[in-house]
């Protein structure tokens, strides 16, 4: 989202925050008081934020991705971006599928709450200046989308994998023996292409797995053989096979078939059992 020059040259930035944790909002309010930020709204839901704002448009909205009202990330981000208001996603970051939805809906940046308020303030400024905020969280979210990765050439897949693993751009350039500017351009192209996807938030129907089935799924999907799963969980190989068969049937029943082992991994990532960035 672009910001007009008069919003960033010599004028305080206006912001709003939507987060259902009081302590986060209080901390953000304190940050605004200490910084060159004018807080227009501080609410626990998007609907409340729109009511408080009325017709005012903040320079940036800081949005939590896991709101208690059950609202969808894609819809929440779009509510603001469709009005020309840039969104900075600010969350725990443990649900990579929510991060993906935020990017697809047009969020300008992802910042985890563990990063702290100082980094948040820096990200707000960059978003307000229409500068990119490329970080590990953004790359990891995209890297976890296996179907998107299949559309990339091998060079970009390797760059994305290294970047999402924590490599700096200069380290990637050294590792792959390519100019650093090519790495930067490739990262920018991938993020812009991903955020331009208008397919919307994907609805993953709940397969309603038991706790044991989730444990089996995670262990098997992350590379263990059935025998290794059996040893790790203290159950027989025959029981592991029974659990895997039930997992297949449950996913098939909600229209999410599992054909091979890669599909086990896809389903585990989609449902947040695995973060997808490893």
276 in any annotated domain: no
Residues 20 and 104 in one domain: yes
The domain boundary, picked from 117, 133, 149, lies at 133
Per-residue model confidence as pLDDT tens digits over 2-12 = 344 444 455 77
Q: Which residue has the higher pLDDT, 66 or 132?
A: 66
Per-residue model confidence as pLDDT tens digits over 108-154 = 888 888 887 888 899 999 899 888 787 777 888 888 787 788 889 99
Per-residue model confidence as pLDDT tens digits over 19-57 = 999 999 999 999 998 888 999 999 999 999 999 999 899
Which residues constitute the domain of residue 222? Answer: 211-270
| Assigned token pair, 196 | 């331009």
Mean pLDDT within 58-81: 92
Residues 186 and 263 in one domain: no
Q: For residue 24, what are the contacts with CB-CB under 8 A and spacing of at least 6?
A: 17, 64, 90, 113
Mean pLDDT within 169-179: 94
Q: What's the confidence (pLDDT) of residue 203?
A: 53
Distance in angstroms (rounded) separating the CA atoms of residues 45 and 36: 24
Q: Among residues of the chain, what percentage have pLDDT more than 70?
A: 90
> Per the structure, how many domains does the chain have?
3
Residue 222 sits in a domain whose CATH number is: 1.10.10
Residues 239 and 167 in one domain: no
| 14: enclosing H helix or E strand | strand 13-18
Residues 150 and 88 in one domain: no
What pTM was estimated for this model as a whole?
0.67
Residues 75 and 161 in one domain: no
Residues 160 and 45 in one domain: no
Residues 186 and 227 in one domain: no
Characterize 243-256 residue by residue with b for buried, 16 or more Cβ atoms within 10 angstroms of its Cβ, and e for exposed.
bbebbbebbeeeeb
Q: Which residue has the higher pLDDT, 112 or 216?
A: 216
Residues 93 and 111 in one domain: yes
In the sheet that holds 60-63, the strands lie side by side as 37-43, 13-18, 60-63, 87-91, 109-112
Residue of 165, 164, 183 whose CA lies nearest to 173: 183
Q: What's the confidence (pLDDT) of residue 136?
A: 79
Residue 59 sits in a domain whose CATH number is: 3.40.50.2300
Q: What's the confidence (pLDDT) of residue 197?
A: 64
Query: Do 128 and 4 touch, CB atoms closer than 8 A?
Result: no
Rounded mean pLDDT of the chain?
86
Distance in angstroms (rounded) separating the CA atoms of residues 82 and 95: 24
């Amino acid at each position: 989202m672009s910001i007009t020059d008069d919003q960033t040259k010599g004028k305080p930035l206006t912001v709003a925050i939507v987060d259902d944790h009081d302590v986060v909002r209080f901390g953000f309010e304190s940050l605004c008081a200490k910084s060159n930020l004018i807080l227009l709204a501080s609410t626990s839901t998007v609907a409340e934020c729109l009511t408080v704002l009325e017709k005012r448009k903040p320079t940036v909205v800081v949005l939590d991705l896991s709101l208690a009202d059950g609202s969808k990330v894609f819809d929440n981000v779009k509510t603001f971006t469709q009005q020309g208001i840039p969104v900075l996603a600010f969350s725990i970051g443990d649900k990579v599928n929510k991060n993906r939805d935020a990017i697809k809906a047009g969020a300008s940046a992802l910042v985890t709450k563990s990063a702290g308020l100082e980094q948040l303030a820096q990200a707000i400024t960059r978003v307000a200046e229409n500068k990119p905020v490329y970080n590990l969280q953004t790359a990891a979210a995209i890297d976890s989308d296996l179907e998107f990765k299949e559309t990339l050439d091998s060079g970009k897949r390797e760059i994305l994998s290294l970047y999402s693993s924590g490599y700096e751009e200069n380290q990637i350039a050294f590792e792959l023996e390519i100019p650093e500017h090519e790495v930067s351009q490739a990262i920018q192209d991938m993020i812009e292409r991903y955020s331009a996807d208008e397919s919307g938030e994907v609805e993953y129907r709940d397969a309603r797995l038991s706790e044991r089935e989730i444990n089996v799924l995670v262990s098997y999907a992350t590379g263990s053989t059935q025998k290794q799963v059996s040893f790790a969980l203290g159950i027989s190989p025959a029981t592991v096979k029974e659990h895997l068969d039930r997992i297949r049937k449950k996913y098939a029943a909600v229209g999410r078939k599992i054909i091979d082992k890669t599909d086990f991994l896809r389903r585990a990532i989609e449902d947040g059992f695995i973060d997808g960035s490893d």
